[in-house]
Chain A
Amino acid sequence: MLFALSDRRLLMVPVAVQYVLTSAIAEPYIGLPLMGIRLIVGLAIAVIIYITAARTERVLSHWRVTRPERNTAALSSMGAVFRVLAMALGALLAIGLWSSDPLPEAPSAVLLCALWLLGIGLSLVLSRTGPLQIGIGVLVAINGFQIVYLSLESSLLIVALTGLLDLLVALTVAYASDRWLDAQIEEGATP
């Protein structure tokens, strides 16, 4: 769904579903009360994504009508250098996880989900051209990492801080997306 949906507003659905499922997976390790808190944080993030996406869609749809010759994908980026570095980081992470011994202690089902989410998140980051979609890729990857991490380290402070970090990342994504949109409007207004 994350790859298929073109309407940014609908992206909140897979994001919300993902937080429900990952909270359920983490429940045996962090307990029911903390699972509830993680679920609330996840749903709040989905709402943040929806609000940001709604504004982006509204502005961009108006913009496409008024300036059809411009393409939102043709923006400055760090291009190939970024992709190679991101891939290298991903590979290093995978090597780090596999070649050391922490993984046998994580249940195999949890590990499978985590690696899957990490892979999806990384692909989104590398392949999408909008700040919101890239940000969602980051959130998905964080979710993947957190399932394994919380199955191994489930102290109250860690769970609280990972929740706080999730929220801060979502806010950063919303903020960056908003600034990108403002800059687009300014550039669109300038001949």
Chain B
Amino acid sequence: MTLTILIVPFVAAGIVYALRTLRLACATVASLAALLIAALLLIGGDAPALVLLGRSLYLAAPVRAHIAFTLVLLSAVLLTSWQLPEDPLASTLAFMALGFLLWALALGTLSLGVLLLVASILMMLMAVTAAPGPASLWPVRVLAIVIGAAFLMLSAAWMLEHSAGTSQNPGQLAPILLFLGSWVLMGAFPFSVWYVPALRSDSSVGRVLLGALLSHALLVHILLQLETVLAPINALVPVLMFYAGIATLILGGIGAAVQRRVSGVLAYLSMGSLGSALIALGAGSSVSEALGLTTLLYRGVGLTAMSIGVRTLTQSVGDDSLETMRGAFHRAPMAVLATLLGGFSLAGFPPLAGFTTNFTLFRMIASQSAQWAVALAATTILPALALTRLASRVFLVVPVPSSRREPRTAAIVGLVLGALLLLLGLWPDALSSLSGPWTDILLSLTVAS
């Protein structure tokens, strides 16, 4: 089963490549393939470790669950690519990236895993680069940053593997380099410099790959490694996560408030939400760990809903700047609702899902430091203001020149995801009540797994 899971993404990439000119067929097949891989990841629950060419291959339960979750989101986005055109190669690159990522996470050999992880990120980068946009140097600069992180991780991998062979103690340097490399790739503060332009690009596939798939995979992998290769620094990692999370949340809030484009607001909201997840994961208790992972799940749904909404709006009114959104609700009502529901959830605004986690998080922080809690709550008001600015424009009753009706299927997919966030906000226990075993796997990590 493990080998099937590892091969299917590459087969899917080949099929999708062959169908790339038939947009509807390509979108349908790609979406179904993503769901199939998600199902295989869940069905192959207790698959034993596979040994191939002397290397052990095993996908841990939390890794499988989180990848499956992000694949469902990717499936939704791929389905909408029928009406919201992506680059013809985007779906192929997405499956190639997924294939390399699964191999990277399954391989027990750290150095090989790092090389495959970088290969996966290069595929994601190509998928994001393919999106139309202004001439910019950020893709090659991101490439330089990714390769820099790879150098750090490969150095760490060599030190750890060499010390295992010679029974020397690698000390703390190797885990620190490994963690630092993962941190750079995750795009948390201060390395958000590469993350924001990537999420701002006009590609939902790219956004889900980098904003959900990569973030989930890296965070879950880091938490699992706390008991193994990162054990020498397992007291330091949560502290770094906590403070970097605070900085990421504050930066995300300020960044969202000053944006003039909805895609920019989305990028910074997503960054701020990652900050919330990091704060919770770094707080150090099992309850906060579950809270952090729940935040990550809600963030994935919010990011996808808003991304579909923004792209639908862009197609309907011709641009995603805040000024062109005047009266957009009358041309694209479902897309506007998807954008606002996803955005307000990412910002942690009531009564949406993001609020339930943010409220719990701030209450937890307030029990230790009231000042920090007030400061963080204040930063969540900034993105809410940005979204209110958007809302005040879209509901205006003004004619929208040269606009057209929203693509219905894409808008419905976005709206369903937005409605899900509203449901989870109004009924926070739904996640555990409706799908207990599934959420148990999603929320269980490290020692508990």
Contact = CB atoms under 8 A, between A and B. Distances in A.
Contacts of A145: 151, 154
A132 to B, nearest CB: 8
A129 B137 contact: yes
A134 B115 contact: no
A175 B126 contact: yes
Nearest to B177: A96
Contacts of A99: 173
A173 B114 CA distance: 20
Given A85-B145, A85-B193, A153-B158, A75 B152 contact: no
B434 interface: no
Contacts of B154: 145, 149
B143 A176 contact: yes
Contacts of B149: 89
B122 A169 contact: yes
22 contacts: A76-B135, A77-B136, A78-B194, A85-B191, A86-B145, A89-B145, A96-B152, A96-B177, A97-B155, A131-B139, A134-B141, A134-B144, A138-B147, A153-B161, A157-B55, A164-B115, A169-B143, A171-B122, A172-B126, A173-B140, A176-B126, A183-B134
Nearest to B53: A157
Interface of A: 75-78, 81-82, 85-86, 89-90, 92-93, 96-97, 99-100, 102, 125, 129, 131, 134-135, 137-138, 141-142, 145, 149, 152-153, 157-158, 161-162, 164-165, 168-169, 171-173, 175-177, 179-180, 183-184, 187
Contacts of A102: 155, 158-159, 162
Given A102-B155, A102-B158, A134-B144, A78 B197 contact: yes
A164 B135 CA distance: 28
Contact of A89 (B53, B118, B119, B148): B148
B184 interface: yes
A100 B152 CA distance: 12
B112 A175 contact: no
Residue from A75, A129, A135, A180 whose CB has the most chain B CB atoms within 10 Å: A180
B173 A96 contact: yes
B111 interface: yes
A146 to B, nearest CB: 9
B136 A82 contact: no
B342 to A, nearest CB: 27
Contacts of B147: 138, 141-142, 169
A180 B129 CA distance: 9
B174 interface: yes
Residue from A76, A134, A176 whose CB has the most chain B CB atoms within 10 Å: A176
B438 interface: no
Nearest to B154: A149
A164 B100 CA distance: 12
